[in-house]
């Protein structure tokens, strides 16, 4: 997804996030983003499974 994102870039993003959102809000924001990614992944897999099942139905 982000092939050229190394440790220095991640550190810069973390510092920017810390400045913008503050130290108290950052863990809460990270948790929300993580939950959103998990839900997106589940929905994507469910859609793919439905599409695969539809293509296997006899016509």
> Rounded to a whole number, what is the distance in angstroms from the first to the last CA of the chain?
37
Note the pLDDT tens digit of each residue in 13-37: 889 988 998 888 988 988 998 999 9
- Per-residue confidence (pLDDT) for residue 23, from 0 to 100: 87
Q: What are phi and psi of 39, to 5 degrees?
A: -65, -40
Report d(CA 48, CA 52) in Å as an integer: 6
**pTM reported for the whole predicted model:** 0.57
Q: What is the length of the chain?
A: 59
Q: Is residue 51 scored above 80 in pLDDT?
A: no
- Per-residue confidence (pLDDT) for residue 30, from 0 to 100: 85
Query: What dihedral angle (degrees, nearest 10) is formed by the CA atoms of 3, 8, 14, 17?
Result: -80
- Per-residue confidence (pLDDT) for residue 4, from 0 to 100: 81
- Per-residue confidence (pLDDT) for residue 58, from 0 to 100: 57
């Amino acid at each position: 997804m982000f092939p050229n994102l190394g440790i220095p870039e991640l550190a810069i993003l973390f510092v920017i996030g810390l400045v913008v959102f503050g130290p108290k809000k950052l863990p809460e924001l990270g948790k929300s983003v993580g939950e959103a990614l998990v839900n997106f992944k589940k929905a994507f897999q469910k859609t793919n499974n439905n599409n695969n099942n539809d293509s296997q139905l006899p016509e």
